[in-house]
Structure 1
Amino acid sequence: MGEQVIWYLEMRDPDAHRARALPKTLNVVECEIPQFELNRFLYRLIGASWQWDEKLKGDQDAWRAMIESDAHRTFVAYDRGAIAGYFELYRPDGINVEILYFGLVAEFIGRGLGAGLLSHAIDQAWRWAGTERVWLHTCSLDHPAALENYQKRGFTIYDEEIAPC
């Protein structure tokens, strides 16, 4: 069994956000009516390349309850009608927004969409009334440019750990 590095990153001030414009080809839509099966689909579609499988093996009822709670929001990015990526925001305590999942569909990686979509996710997190902090975690199994993208947008690492993978 190998090891992975997990980085925890945060942004405590919206002015720290070094935004990139959302690419003109992307249309980002919030799924205002929670649909658990849509989230499962997006998780598999985007996560397949990055070994996202934890949620698929876990308690499906707990996952559904989280998605259907008022503390959870889902956004889908479309490029000319095709799903290009998505992100989920989760704020169970009312002040700390986690960018729970963020990613692009494999066919859309390398087209210059990630920085703008991440900026849109950060903007949505800060626009959520009451937000005091935005955070996320990533790991060494993620896309090689992921950590750098998060840091370029203004996130700073506040913790790091080594874990089995």
Structure 2
Amino acid sequence: MTESPSRPPALSPGLYDLPSGHVAAVVTHLERRSPPDTPAGPAPEGVALHRDRTMSPETYRRLFAEIGRDWLWQSRLHMDTRTLSALLADPLVEIYRVTVDDEAAGLLELDFRLPGRPCLAFLGLSGRFAGRGIGRWLVARSFDRAFAGPIEAFTVQTCTLDSPHALRFYQGAGFAATRRQVEIMVDPRFDGTLDRAAAPHVPLL
């Protein structure tokens, strides 16, 4: 039987060498099937969420790289400009800027392209804005949007390259883990996608 591209063969127990210039992460897929009992409350003081329907690829890449630098975010940085422009213009993809006292502080991206299974594609804050309750409020706002209509599940994924608190954070917000994968990818610091000082906690090998 031919394996589905989305379901590669499972790895056998053991250690596996990575090629030089690559990193590996354990990816956990999570979902929530019912909305919270109450909608999101007011934003934390000074925090605002702005949907940007006209963000340019250049602005998006700059914001994405700044917020995701410590966690080696790279997927959107590898997109060619035409593909990224189409994504940003898609009415089923919602891009939000997060500001604190009018200062750029984060990014929230919701993807409604898969019917019945909206996705929290990206949620990130600049480091100095973490730990202030902003992330919890952003997830609550994302629930308001995702469950505005009937859906099967609201999904998200995180990995071991993300903040060490990310998985517990999503579970605390009511997401349940459904699947786990190992992803091997080119280290974006080796191909120039990110600078070599990014994610100093991840060794360059």
TM-score range, shorter chain: 0.7 to 0.9
Letter of the 2:172 counterpart: K
Question: Partner of 2:196 in structure 1?
Answer: none
Query: Out of 69, 77, 80, which is 1:48 matched to?
Result: 69
Contact 1:18 1:153 in 2 (8 A): no
Question: Partner of 2:91 in structure 1?
Answer: 70
| Identical counterparts, % of pairs | 26
Q: Return the alpha-carbon distance in structure 1 between the equivalents of residues 166 and 38 of structure 2.
A: 16
Question: Partner of 1:102 in structure 2?
Answer: 123
Query: Out of 150, 159, 166, which is 1:139 matched to?
Result: 159
Letter of the 1:109 counterpart: A
Matched, 1:27 2:48: yes
Question: Partner of 1:36 in structure 2?
Answer: 57
Structure 1 residues 110 and 74: CA distance shift in structure 2, 3 A: same
Greater Rg, structure 1 or structure 2?
Answer: 2
Structure 1 residues 93 and 111: CA distance shift in structure 2, 3 A: closer
Higher relative contact order (CA 8 A, sep 6+): 1
TM-fit CA distance, 1:119: 1.7
Matched, 1:115 2:112: no
Unaligned 5+ runs, structure 2: 1-17, 186-205
Letter of the 1:69 counterpart: D
Question: Partner of 1:159 in structure 2?
Answer: 179
Unaligned 5+ runs, structure 1: none
Letter of the 2:135 counterpart: G
TM-fit CA distance, 1:21: 5.9
TM-score by length of 1: 0.87
Query: Out of 81, 101, 105, which is 1:60 matched to?
Result: 81
TM-fit CA distance, 1:19: 6.1
Q: CA offsets per residue over residues 72-129 of structure 1, 9 Å max, x none?
A: 11111111011111111111133211111110012212333221222222222223x4
Q: Return the alpha-carbon distance in structure 1 between the equivalents of residues 120 and 78 of structure 2.
A: 21
TM-score by length of 2: 0.71
The alignment covers a number of residue pairs equal to: 164
Question: Partner of 1:13 in structure 2?
Answer: 34
By percentage of residues, which structure has more strand? 1
Contact 1:75 1:88 in 2 (8 A): yes
Aligned with 2:132: secondary structure?
coil
